[in-house]
């Protein structure tokens, strides 16, 4: 999984295995549709608390999944901080949570700092 942030787009590129096991596609969101950016210390805990999900679920280890309503996407690993952000205008997707060692730097960039 790779995260690419440009002036126009936030793109989460999943590996082929993540796409197949997680029943997901790459996530592409215009930066104008991104808000409420934050760093989450324990993304796996937040994913586990989100209710029913479809995709790859290894509780307390890894999630590559979406909620049943498809409004939240999780690509998280244990022990890695996560970048979380809200999405507007991309229904049904409303929230994304993705683990990356660069979560703090990406959050600052998305917040315009």
pLDDT, tens digit, for every residue of 58-112? 988 999 999 999 999 999 999 999 999 999 999 999 999 999 999 999 999 999 8
Give the per-residue pLDDT at 51: 86
Q: In this predicted structure, what is the pLDDT of residue 81?
A: 97
Token digits of residue 5:
């942030």
For the chain, how big is the Rg over CA atoms in Å?
A: 13
Residue tagged 């999943």 (tokens): 14
| Number of alpha carbons in the 13 Å side-chain half-sphere of residue 84 | 17
DSSP structure class, residue 43: H
Alpha helices in the chain (DSSP H): 16-22, 43-48, 103-110
**Domain regions of the chain by residue span:** 2-110
Location of structure tokens 């991309």: 90
Q: What pLDDT, in 10s, does the model give residues 28-64?
A: 999 999 999 999 999 999 999 998 899 999 988 999 9
Q: Are 55 and 2 in contact (CB under 8 A)?
A: no
């Amino acid at each position: 999984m790779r995260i690419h942030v440009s002036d126009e787009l936030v793109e989460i590129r999943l590996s082929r295995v993540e796409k197949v096991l997680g029943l997901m596609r790459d996530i592409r969101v215009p930066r104008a549709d991104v808000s409420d950016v934050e760093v989450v210390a324990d993304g796996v805990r937040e994913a586990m608390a989100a209710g029913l999900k479809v995709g790859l679920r290894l509780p307390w280890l890894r999630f590559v999944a979406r909620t049943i309503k498809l409004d939240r996407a999780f690509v998280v690993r244990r022990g890695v901080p996560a970048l979380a952000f809200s999405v507007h205008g991309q229904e049904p997707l409303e929230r994304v949570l993705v683990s990356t060692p660069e979560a703090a730097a990406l959050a600052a960039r998305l917040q315009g700092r």
